[in-house]
Amino acid sequence: MQVKKAVIPAAGLGTRFLPATKAMAKEMLPIVDKPTIQFIVEEALSSGIEDILIVTGKAKRPIEDHFDANIELETNLKSKGKTDLLKLVEETTDVNLHFIRQSHPKGLGHAVLQAKAFVGNEPFVVMLGDDLMESEVPLTKQLMNDYETTHASTIAVMQVPQEETSKYGIINPEGQVEKGLYNVKNFVEKPKADEAPSNLAIIGRYLLTPEIFEVLENQAPGAGDEIQLTDAIDNLNKTQRVFAREFTGKRFDVGDKFGFMTTSIEYGLKHPEIKDKLREYIIELGQELAPNENKKSE
């Protein structure tokens, strides 16, 4: 069966970005000029996904508005002949988007469970909004390609420094079936750094078989007293094979302030409108900062 559906959990409270996220969805925070969630939707579409469910919560209405037509704005841009901007605005409306609200934020596993009726009895992908991926073949597409041969759930992972393993779901790999595709003994959510079974971390792209829902329905709360997707995947792996695909492209973590800033800079350095000015600015800033750095080391 072909994978056609994606689920994007977007119900988190965004506490790492307070006060900006007090009344605004963190998924709408822009990298240069594009809300982070639009990058995720674009990855889904370029992978061949046809239907997307966004699991939302409080203060998330702007996400729905963002992907809806804005007739007033379109008319205004048209009358002023701003065709480039018009194109940017219209681009966002050509997607089959569905929304469901997660009334109680009980964890990522619980958010994914809200997609049960939408997904039905099909394999599907889960895409987390905190991770932006850059690679020749989109990561979601890579997982879909794997599924065509394995017909099994496959979780994207990436090497991270050992001391950062406690921030992620970590796999305990058990040999590779082909280059970069691992058998997995077990999955652990946010282990202590010295107890992590490897440094291969789950990075926010999952291809799952629909049996995950049955597991999620019976999943007890885990780390942080939340229903964890990683725990459910670990249980699924006991009844059917779950693979891990190692991602070798570039990952941008926009889930915290530092990652958000560095991603903004890197994307800015590629943005046709500002890249030259930004580059000059960074070079000047570096020269300004360098004497201070030298003083420090004296």
Is 112 an interacting residue with respect to ligand G1P (CB under 6 A)? no
Q: Tell me which amino acid residue 127 is.
A: M
Query: How many CA atoms lie less than 13 Å away from 118 in the CB half-sphere?
Result: 25
**Region of residue 97 (phi > 0: left; psi between -120 and 50: alpha; otherwise: beta):** beta
**Residue closest to ligand G1P when measured from CB atoms:** 169
Assigned token pair, 186: 């077990």
Selected from 168, 206, 247, 252, the binder of ligand G1P by CB under 6 A is: 168
Which stretches of the chain are DSSP H helices? 36-46, 61-66, 71-79, 83-91, 108-113, 116-119, 139-150, 212-217, 229-236, 257-268, 275-297
Does 234 engage in binding with ligand G1P (CB under 6 A)?
A: no
* Among candidate residues 83, 58, 56, the one with its CA nearest the CA of residue 67: 56
C-alpha span between 122 and 103 (Å, rounded) = 25
Among 204, 232, 245, 267, binds ligand G1P (CB under 6 A): 204
Among 202, 212, 216, 278, binds ligand G1P (CB under 6 A): 202
The stretch near ligand G1P (CB under 6 A) out of 21-29, 124-132, 140-148, 235-243 is 124-132
Residue 222 is a binding residue for ligand G1P (CB under 6 A): no
Among 43, 146, 189, 231, binds ligand G1P (CB under 6 A): 189
Tell me how far, at minimum, the Cβ of 241 lies from ligand G1P, in Å: 19
Q: Residue 11, interface with ligand G1P (CB under 6 A)?
A: no
For 206, the enclosing helix (H) or strand (E) is: strand 200-208
What track of x and - describes contact with ligand G1P for positions 126 through 145 (by CB under 6 A)?
--x-xx--------------
Contacts of 148 (CB under 8 A, 6+ apart): none
Within 236-295, the residues that bind ligand G1P by CB under 6 A are 255
Residue 74 or 226: the one with the smaller Cβ distance to ligand G1P is: 226
Q: How far is CA 27 from CA 40, 129, 262, 263, in A?
A: 10, 7, 17, 14
Q: Counting contacts by CB under 6 A, is residue 203 touching ligand G1P?
A: yes
Could you list the residues that contact ligand G1P (CB under 6 A)?
A: 108, 128, 130-131, 168-169, 189, 201-204, 228-230, 255
